[in-house]
Amino acid sequence: MAVTRYPEGSKRDAVGLVMSSGRSVNSEAKVSRSRFYRWRRTATARAARQAVEVGLAARIRKVHQDSDGT
């Protein structure tokens, strides 16, 4: 069976909808229970990493802009 890759946001939204409806994560969203709990357990670390990446991207854009785009 082929593995389908979805954008991270769409999978998160689908899992949230399924969990709020009370249905099984595995049967409705095709996400294993262990994968869902891992995703939920690591949410804080992902958010922190994303915040660092946003700050880094801003610094890179500033350096690039200060160097007249070179």
Q: Is 37 contained in some domain?
A: no
Domain range for 56 is: 44-70
Is residue 33, in this structure, part of any structural domain at all?
Answer: no
Does residue 67 form part of some domain? yes
Residue 48 within any structural domain of the chain: yes
Tens-place pLDDT, residues 53-69: 999 999 999 999 999 87
* Residue 23 belongs to a domain: no
Residue 64, domain member (yes or no): yes
Q: Is 21 contained in some domain?
A: no
How many domains does the chain fold into?
A: 1
Model confidence pLDDT, tens digit, residues 5-55: 656 666 666 666 655 555 565 666 677 888 888 988 999 999 999 999 999
Query: Two tokens at 22?
Result: 């009370």
Q: Considering the domain boundaries, does residue 7 fall inside one?
A: no
